[in-house]
Structure 1
Amino acid sequence: MEATWPPALAEHLERLQTRVGLEFPPELLTWWTLMDGFDDHGAGNRSVELIPKGYLPLSVARAEEEYARQSQYPDPGCCTPEGTHRKQAGADGFPYCTAVLPIGRAIDGGLLCVDLRQGERHGVVMEWYASEGIYDSDWASVTEILDEIAERLDSEQ
């Protein structure tokens, strides 16, 4: 039996984008309109490693939960009280930048995030850990992640 995952509901995407208040990369919106990720609260999903390095793609609802939890601890060197950012997209930060949006979660608590700050690297994929903050990942964009998944799935057939 082939597994299928429903798309994210348009109203959930709109609510998240309104909450974050920044432009999402088109490829992220496309991904979520095709497949809403996993509710990683369930232990059964741990056997699925769709994204390399042990990340599971988050559903829009789970992305919103993680964003709400982490954005309580903004990076004082980047995030201003007015909601602007001193650092450009792709810059490291600690403890968390409110302009990065979680899109995946690792079993060890790490997050895979899209950087929504302004700059040439808008849309770059970053990793976040509570002990390290936000830093560069192996992927320049959501498209690179999706391409890597597709290549791996093609080679397994």
Structure 2
Amino acid sequence: MPGARRRLARVTEPVTQAWQRITAVLREHAPATAHAIHPAGPADNIRELERIVGRRLPADLLTWWSVTDGVDDRRDYRAGSLIPTHFMPLSVTRAREEYAGNAEYPDPGCCTAYGEHRKPAGEPAFPYCTALVPVCRSIDGGLLCVDLRPGQDHGCVMTWYASEGAYAVEWDDVTAMLAYVAERLDDHAAGRVPDRPESRVVIDNDGALNWGMAAN
């Protein structure tokens, strides 16, 4: 499970541009993963999720979901891991399901009955925080969530596991997350090998994308 705190500088590359770079490399080098990615779903699904969460979703997340509805994580679990080190993007419907189940167990030290939060964005929460919106899921049940709590880290992407709660900021926002993936895929396509093992792209024999030691 990821544990290192990885904070990257904010990225200004548009989400749509990063996503185009990602899908272009996947189509050529990881066709199994590319095939599993769904086109955008109904906008009503996004509005319903926003209504349930009770907070506006960040613009970059809305943009991402406007071009893709993720992967069927229950059926296409053999399609590799699009997001390091072992996460696949959720559809909006699956994000709503994950949110609804976990939001029943709010952090008593953070979440109030009035929908406010005592802890700022980026702070650990256990068992869950009702301002966390799942965007990716791993086969072992872990989530990457966008943190909608107020604070300077509003919109950051946090790791969550049932046994640990939300405990690590992985990226400053969805924009940074997708830019990171795009850069690593470009490195792979160009034959460049990153120094950090977990940043290394590995394509298995079935054409699925994996990351570093997670692929072994």
TM range (shorter): over 0.9
Deviation of 1:152 (Å): 2.3
Write the distance in 2 (CA, Å) between the matches of 1:40 and 1:31. Answer: 17
Moved more, 49-58 or 133-142: 133-142
Q: Secondary structure at the match of 1:50?
A: coil
Equivalent residue number for residue 104 of structure 1: 136
Write the distance in 2 (CA, Å) between the matches of 1:139 and 1:117. Answer: 15
Q: Secondary structure at the match of 2:160?
A: strand
Matched, 1:6 2:39: yes
Write the distance in 2 (CA, Å) between the matches of 1:150 and 1:48. Answer: 16
Equivalent residue number for residue 129 of structure 1: 161
Q: Percent identity?
A: 53
**One-letter code aligned to 1:28:** L
Matched, 1:26 2:59: yes
Write the distance in 2 (CA, Å) between the matches of 1:65 and 1:104. Answer: 12
Equivalent residue number for residue 15 of structure 1: 48
Deviations 1:41-72 (A, max 9, x none): 11x33332110110000000000000000000
Q: Secondary structure at the match of 1:155?
A: helix
Number of residue pairs matched by the alignment: 156
Residue of structure 2 aligned with 1:153, choices 178, 185, 202: 185
Deviations 1:102-136 (A, max 9, x none): 00001111110000011111001101111111112
Alpha carbons 1:46, 1:107 under 8 Å: kept: no
Q: TM-score normalised to the size of structure 1?
A: 0.93
Q: TM-score normalised to the size of structure 2?
A: 0.69
Write the distance in 2 (CA, Å) between the matches of 1:5 and 1:150. Answer: 18
Residue of structure 2 aligned with 1:58, choices 66, 87, 90: 90
Deviation of 1:141 (Å): 1.1
Write the distance in 1 (CA, Å) between the matches of 2:97 and 2:72. Answer: 11
Write the distance in 2 (CA, Å) between the matches of 1:145 and 1:133. Answer: 20
Higher RCO structure, 1 or 2 (CA under 8 Å, sep 6+) = 2
Deviation of 1:5 (Å): 2.4
Structure 1: which 5+ runs fail to align?
none
Aligned-pair RMSD on alpha carbons? 1.4
Equivalent residue number for residue 35 of structure 1: 68
Alpha carbons 2:77, 2:139 under 8 Å: kept: no
Write the distance in 2 (CA, Å) between the matches of 1:39 and 1:65. Answer: 13
Structure 2: which 5+ runs fail to align?
1-30, 190-216
